[in-house]
Each structure stands twice: as C-alpha cells, then as structure tokens.
C-alpha cells in the first residue's frame, strides 16, 4: 500500500512543488517551510436499539461498499462536536431524532472516497430514540431495518471499522 502522504504533491499553503517527505507523518515545503501533518479525519457511528433490543442497520446506497450493511453515521463537520455530529448524521440518514449519545469506543479506518484514502477515527456512540415513527432511509442509505443482536453477522458489513465495531459490540 502506498503511503498516504504520496497523494499530496504540492504545498497546500503556497502551491510549491518543493513539497518533500519530512518524516513518516509529515511533508515539508522547501519554499515556504510549511509542514503538513497527515492526521485522521473524525467520524461518528450510531448504535441505535429499539425496545426489543434490536439494532438499527442501514444498507449503503453508495460506494464505498454499496449494497452492504452499515450503521448510521458519517464525518464530523468543522466546528461540530462528535455528539452534535452523530445527532445530525442520524437525522440526515434515518429521519430520527436521537437523544443522549453516549461514547463507547473508537476504531481506526481507511475510507476510500473518489479513489482517495481518507484515514479516519470512527467514534461509536450508543444512541436512543423515543420515537421511530419518522424512520425513513435517506441521504446515502437505501434501506433501514432492525436486526436482533444474535442475528447480526459482521461479515455483512462492508466497512472494516463497522465490522470490527459489530464484533466488539457482540
């Protein structure tokens, strides 16, 4: 696998081509001196249970891993907390309003978007909803369903971090 920094050829500050490896985590511009550190992007994942203890599972409508199972979630926007992001992402993808998101654990991931490897830290939250009447697949979700914990198969989930999260949850 190619190092993520190899995807960056020009200094993001001045545009110079004198943008060279500084160390395993950064590149440095030979013209302006700017050092760019390649860090993970932050993402959130929602584990939502109904009254029967079943988990809300989404089917991905788009690549990567189109047609596979997923959990609601997505990237954290600038100036947004992880808790705000999980509430927003769940609303965008499912129509649900969730309350009391509780952080559980995180898992690193590589999310390939438009051929670009985005390294992420996926933060998993346990979330509650008091009303499932507005449940509707939206945004990048083609279908939503509740699945009993004992029927969840990690292999059905297309993204590596979600698979690992399901294994950890079970």
Q: Token pair 């998101």 is at which residue?
A: 101
Distance (Å) of CA 15 to CA 22, 115, 117: 17, 22, 21
The reply to whether 80 belongs to the active site is no
Catalytic residue, from 20, 93, 143, 167: name it.
Answer: 143
Distance (Å) of CA 90 to CA 54, 107, 150: 17, 19, 23
- Residue whose C-alpha is closest to residue 60's, from 132, 165, 158, 127: 158
| Distance (Å, whole) CA 126 – CA 49 | 8
Active site residues per annotation: 143
């Amino acid at each position: 696998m190619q190092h993520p920094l190899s995807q960056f050829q020009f200094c993001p500050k001045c545009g110079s081509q004198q943008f060279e490896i500084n160390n395993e985590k950064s590149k440095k511009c030979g013209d302006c001196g700017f050092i760019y550190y390649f860090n993970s992007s932050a993402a959130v994942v929602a584990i939502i249970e109904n009254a029967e203890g079943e988990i809300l599972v989404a089917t991905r409508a788009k690549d990567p891993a189109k047609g596979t199972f997923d959990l609601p979630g997505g990237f954290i926007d600038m100036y947004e907390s992880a808790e705000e992001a999980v509430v927003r992402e769940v609303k965008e993808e499912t129509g649900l309003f969730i309350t009391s998101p509780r952080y559980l654990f995180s898992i690193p991931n590589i999310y390939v978007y438009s051929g670009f490897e985005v390294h992420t830290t996926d933060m998993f939250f346990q979330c509650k909803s008091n009303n499932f009447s507005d449940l509707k697949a939206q945004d990048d979700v083609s279908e939503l369903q509740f699945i009993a914990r004992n029927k969840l198969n990690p292999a059905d989930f297309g993204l590596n971090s979600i698979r690992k999260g399901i294994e950890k949850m079970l």
